[in-house]
């Protein structure tokens, strides 16, 4: 990277010269060559030796133990960083497009790489810069060698002709002007001068405006590569001058395969369930997954299991999602509070648990809709248990449950009491199968003749339907208050239990699904 105080780097530091105050070796008059002067310590030791005793030889110099430097260990995300287009993981379409552009000599003057974190934007920018400046070919090549000085310097991030600029700390108009002034000078050694600006959305409005003219018509030896995680913050005037590449989140299956390749290469023993859990924790970011794998390997001695991953990085495993689904199916309210208590006491991320539960219910939906496609499941090893649960959930229950979890996931971000919100949401899911569809309830209320008879209070069988009351007598002054405006008297019908509870709670009488208690029915029902 560029040293502090310089935007575009500095030449390599020359090796230190010998100090001027070192005395040259004194020639030995009786020997064939110069001898080193005696040190003050040796002189003092000889002078302090007792008379008559042989001079003790100086102890042999022991080799110094190597000290562990800061660069002795390289994290997995950097050690296995792709160096060619063929090494890119999950971005094959972008790699193929860039390689074909180089082969056909259709190289754009400005590129914009947008996408979530940890998916290879900066890595692809360096590979593209190496492909454009590789010295092993007469021109740009789709397969950079990686061994020439240009490729090595670009891979290390200290190339003079490919400065890497942090948009967050170099976001002023002055920095933009410095880029414009530097762009007019030809490269010092390489074929192109490439400005690689990371987090370009952090540039100020003035800096963007200052770059417009140079970005639209740069010199022939200048290329721009921008990388951002928030493309919506970049002005349209900048977007229209760049060739945009949308990087996608890496699928969990691809991340798990990459993790398996790395642990096999390193000689570690990690269970497939543990790798799947780490891949799920990355949420589409390969770099986050590699960082989590690094942490788990450092914390666990021996084989790594799914329980170890859950303990080290604090991610709930599939077992607790299975327990939650069982509590929802069986209507176990006590299990809801026990599950939340376990999550809180172990310091788990409640929002992440809600996300995992959503994925588990999604797998239930997949099992109901496509039981012959286990490859669509996020937990293929749970297919048998999911098949057992799928028969006890209706499609309406699954859709309503997913809707509740989606809303509670958004509320957990800003809630001062996330535990309370999660408990209430799970209790709502427990009661969900017992609630009738609201549309069906309104239909029964508006058409009482089609409603099934209410069960008897003490029996389990089907009681006889309540007989229809005779027509009411002509209205009298005493009963005038109970008549509606059209003169027709409402039938004394037995409402459903849920309507009775509503009337006892809020008072009044529901005479229609379209009128509140105590209000007359609409004109169309009179």
Return contacts of 359-362, CB within 8 angstroms, 24+ apart.
359/280, 359/321, 360/318, 360/321, 360/322, 360/324, 360/325, 361/325, 361/398, 361/401, 361/402, 361/405, 362/402
Helical ranges in 83-172 per DSSP H:
92-103, 121-133, 149-156
Q: Is the pLDDT of residue 134 over 60?
A: yes
- Looking only at the bridges linking them, the beta strands covering 243-246 and 164-166 are unpaired
CA-CA distance, 454 to 470, in Å (whole number)?
A: 20
CA-CA distance, 250 to 231, in Å (whole number)?
A: 18
Domain 318-434: give its CATH architecture. Up-down Bundle (1.20)
The answer for residues whose C-beta is within 8 angstroms of residue 33's C-beta and 6 or more apart is 27
Eight-class DSSP state of 422:
H
pLDDT digits (tens, 9 = 90+) for 294-320: 999 999 998 999 889 988 887 777 888
Q: Model's pTM, two decimal places?
A: 0.65
Angle between helices 333-345 and 350-369 (to 10 degrees): 130
pLDDT digits (tens, 9 = 90+) for 262-289: 999 999 999 988 998 899 888 899 999 9
**CATH number of the domain at 76-246, please?**
3.40.50.300
Contact indicator for 201, 229 with CB cutoff of 8 Å: yes
CA-CA distance, 110 to 303, in Å (whole number)?
A: 47
Q: What is the DSSP string of 344-384?
A: HHTT--HHHHHHHHHHHHHHHHHHHH-TT-GGG-S-GGGHH
pLDDT digits (tens, 9 = 90+) for 465-516: 455 555 555 555 544 444 444 444 444 456 666 666 656 665 555 555 555 5
**CATH number of the domain at 252-313, please?**
1.10.8.60
Helical ranges in 233-285 per DSSP H:
236-239, 252-266, 272-282
Start-to-end CA span in the chain (Å): 82
Return contacts of 514-521, CB within 8 angstroms, 24+ apart.
514/446, 520/484, 520/485, 521/484
pLDDT at 503: 62
Domain ranges of the chain: 76-246, 252-313, 318-434, 443-452+492-526
Show the tokens assigned to 266.
Answer: 């390193």
Distances (CA, A) of 447 to 327, 450, 451, 513: 36, 6, 7, 10
Which residues are registered as beta bridge partners of 142? Answer: none
Contact indicator for 35, 27 with CB cutoff of 8 Å: yes
Q: Across the beta sheet with 243-246, what order do the strands follow?
A: 164-166, 193-198, 222-228, 110-114, 243-246
pLDDT tier for residue 35 given thresholds of 50, 70 and 90? very low
pLDDT tier for residue 76 given thresholds of 50, 70 and 90? very high
- Looking only at the bridges linking them, the beta strands covering 26-27 and 34-35 are antiparallel
Contact indicator for 268, 297 with CB cutoff of 8 Å: yes
Show the tokens assigned to 205.
Answer: 């409005």
**Greater model confidence, 517 or 221:** 221
């Amino acid at each position: 990277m560029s040293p502090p105080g310089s935007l575009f780097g500095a030449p390599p530091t020359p090796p230190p010269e010998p100090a001027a105050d070192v005395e040259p070796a004194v020639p030995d008059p009786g020997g064939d060559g110069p001898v080193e002067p005696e040190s003050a310590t040796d002189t003092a030791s000889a002078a302090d030796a007792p008379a008559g005793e042989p001079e003790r030889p100086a102890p042999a110099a022991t080799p110094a133990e190597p000290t562990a430097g800061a660069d002795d260990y390289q994290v997995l995300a950097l050690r296995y960083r792709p160096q060619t287009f063929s090494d890119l993981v999950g971005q094959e379409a972008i790699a193929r497009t860039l390689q074909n552009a180089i082969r056909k000599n259709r190289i754009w003057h400005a590129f914009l790489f947008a996408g979530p974190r940890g998916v290879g934007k900066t890595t692809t920018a360096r590979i593209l810069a190496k492909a454009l400046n590789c010295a092993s070919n007469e021109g740009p090549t789709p397969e950079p060698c990686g061994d020439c000085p240009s490729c090595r310097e670009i891979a290390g991030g200290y190339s003079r002709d490919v400065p890497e600029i942090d948009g967050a700390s170099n976001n002023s108009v002055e920095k933009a002007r410095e880029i414009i002034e530097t762009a007019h000078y030809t490269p010092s050694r390489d074929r192109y001068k490439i400005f690689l600006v990371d987090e370009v959305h952090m540039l100020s409005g003035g800096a963007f405006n200052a770059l417009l003219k140079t970005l639209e018509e740069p010199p022939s030896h200048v290329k721009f590569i921008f990388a951002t995680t928030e493309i919506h913050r970049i002005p349209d005037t900048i977007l229209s001058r760049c060739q945009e590449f949308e990087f996608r989140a890496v699928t969990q299956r691809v991340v798990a395969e990459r993790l398996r390749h790395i642990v096999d290469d390193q000689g570690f023993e990690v269970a497939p369930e543990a790798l799947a859990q780490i891949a799920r924790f990355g949420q589409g970011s390969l770099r986050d997954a590699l960082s989590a794998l690094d942490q788990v390997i450092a914390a666990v001695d021996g084989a790594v299991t799914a329980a170890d991953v859950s303990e080290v990085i604090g991610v709930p495993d599939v077992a607790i999602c299975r327990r939650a689904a069982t509590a929802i199916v069986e209507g176990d309210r006590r299990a809801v509070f026990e599950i939340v208590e376990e999550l809180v006491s172990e310091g788990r991320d409640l929002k992440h648990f809600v996300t995992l539960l959503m994925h588990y219910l999604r797998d239930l939906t997949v099992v109901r809709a496509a039981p012959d496609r286990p490859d669509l499941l996020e937990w293929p090893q749970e297919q048998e248990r999911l098949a057992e649960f799928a028969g006890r959930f209706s499609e309406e229950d699954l859709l309503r449950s997913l809707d509740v979890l989606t809303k509670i996931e958004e509320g957990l971000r800003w809630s001062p009491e996330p535990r309370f919100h999660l408990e209430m949401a799970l209790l709502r899911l427990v009661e969900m199968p017992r609630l009738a569809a609201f549309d069906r309830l309104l239909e029964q209320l508006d058409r009482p003749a089609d409603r099934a008879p209410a069960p008897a209070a003490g029996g389990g069988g089907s009681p006889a339907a309540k007989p229809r009351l005779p027509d009411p007598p002509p209205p009298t002054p005493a009963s005038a208050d109970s008549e509606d405006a059209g003169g027709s008297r409402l039938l004394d019908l037995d409402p459903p239990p849920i309507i009775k509870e509503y009337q006892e709670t809020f008072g009044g009488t529901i005479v229609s699904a379209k009128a509140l208690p105590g209000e007359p029915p609409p004109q169309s029902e009179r």
